[in-house]
C-alpha cells in the first residue's frame, strides 16, 4: 500500500472516524511526495548543482508510477519543477485534495467505512470508521518493533515513522491508551524525521500554515 494510505489509516480514529492530527491535506500530500521519493521519481537538489539547493526535481529515467494518484502528483510536480520542498507539499495539497481520494480508496479496500451524518441536523459531516483493522494492526506491530524495541525499519516503515512525527500526532497514533513512553516515542520520531526530506517538508508546511493562521 501507499504511504499515503498507511499514514491516513493510522491517523484516523477507529471509533470516531475522525483525523486525530491537524491538516490532513498537508499530511497526505507529504505522504504522496514520500511515495514518489521512495520510488526514485523525485529528489531534492544539493549544494553544487546547477539548480539551487533544496528544490524538488523529477528524475527523468525513473519508471512512471503505475498508481494513478502518484502519477497525477508526479505530473503536477513536473509541470513546474525547482520549487522549495514545502511548497511542493502545498501544491499537491491544493491541486489533488488528497485526503478525500485516499479515504475513498481505503473504503473501496473495505478497510474503512464512510458514515455520513448532519451536525445540528444541518451541516453534512463524513466520518471514516474502521471496518477491517488487520492491515492497520500489522502496521502498528511493525512500528512497535521500531519505536519500542529499536528494531531497524525497512525504508517504507522508516518513512512512515517520519511522517507520523511530522504530523505532530505520533504519540496519539501509536499509544492508543497503552501509556507508552512518550519521550522515547518522540525521540525516535525525531530521529526518523531528520532522515527524510519529504517528512521535513511536511512539517514545515504545517508550521507555515500555523504561522499564517496566527497572523
Looking at 82-86, 96-100, 128-132, 184-188, which range is the least confident one? 82-86
What percent of the chain clears pLDDT 90, i.e. is strictly above it? 78
Q: What is the pLDDT of residue 98?
A: 82
pLDDT tens-place string over residues 44-103:
998 878 888 889 999 999 999 999 999 999 999 988 767 888 999 999 999 898 899 999
The contacts of residue 86 (CB under 8 Å, 6+ apart) are 201, 202, 204, 205, 208
Q: What is the DSSP letter of 49?
A: S
- The pLDDT mean for the chain works out to 93
DSSP letter string, 54-76: TEEEE-TTSPPPSSHHHHHHHHH
Q: Could you tell me which of 162, 154, 150 has the C-alpha nearest to residue 190?
A: 162
Q: In Å, how far are 130, 172, 174, 175, 200 from 165, measured between CA atoms?
A: 22, 11, 11, 13, 9
Q: What is the pLDDT of residue 80?
A: 79
Q: What is the grid cell recorded at 83?
A: 520549487
| pLDDT at 155 > cutoff 70 | yes
Averaged over 133-153, what is the pLDDT? 96
CATH architecture of the domain 3-207 equals: Orthogonal Bundle (1.10)
Q: What is the pLDDT of residue 121?
A: 61
Amino acid at each position: 500500500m501507499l504511504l499515503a494510505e498507511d499514514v491516513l489509516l493510522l491517523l484516523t480514529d477507529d471509533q470516531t472516524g475522525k483525523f486525530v492530527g491537524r491538516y490532513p491535506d498537508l499530511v497526505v500530500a507529504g505522504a504522496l511526495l514520500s511515495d514518489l521519493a521512495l520510488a526514485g521519481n523525485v529528489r531534492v537538489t544539493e549544494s553544487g548543482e546547477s539548480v539551487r539547493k533544496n528544490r524538488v526535481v523529477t528524475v527523468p529515467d525513473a519508471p512512471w508510477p503505475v498508481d494513478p494518484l502518484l502519477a497525477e502528483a508526479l505530473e503536477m510536480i513536473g509541470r513546474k519543477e525547482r520549487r522549495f520542498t514545502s511548497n511542493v507539499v502545498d501544491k499537491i495539497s491544493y491541486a489533488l485534495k488528497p485526503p478525500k481520494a485516499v479515504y475513498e480508496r481505503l473504503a473501496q479496500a473495505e478497510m474503512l467505512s464512510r458514515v455520513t451524518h448532519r451536525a445540528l441536523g444541518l451541516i453534512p459531516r463524513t466520518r471514516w470508521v474502521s471496518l477491517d483493522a488487520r492491515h492497520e494492526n500489522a502496521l502498528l506491530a511493525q512500528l512497535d518493533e521500531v519505536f519500542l524495541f529499536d528494531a531497524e525499519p525497512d525504508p517504507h516503515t522508516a518513512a512512515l515513522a517520519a511522517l507520523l512525527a511530522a504530523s505532530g500526532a505520533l504519540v496519539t497514533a501509536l499509544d492508543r491508551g497503552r501509556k507508552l513512553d512518550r519521550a522515547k516515542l518522540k525521540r525516535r520520531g525525531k530521529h526518523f524525521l531528520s532522515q527524510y526530506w519529504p517528512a521535513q517538508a511536511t512539517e514545515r508546511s504545517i508550521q507555515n500554515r500555523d504561522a499564517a493562521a496566527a497572523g
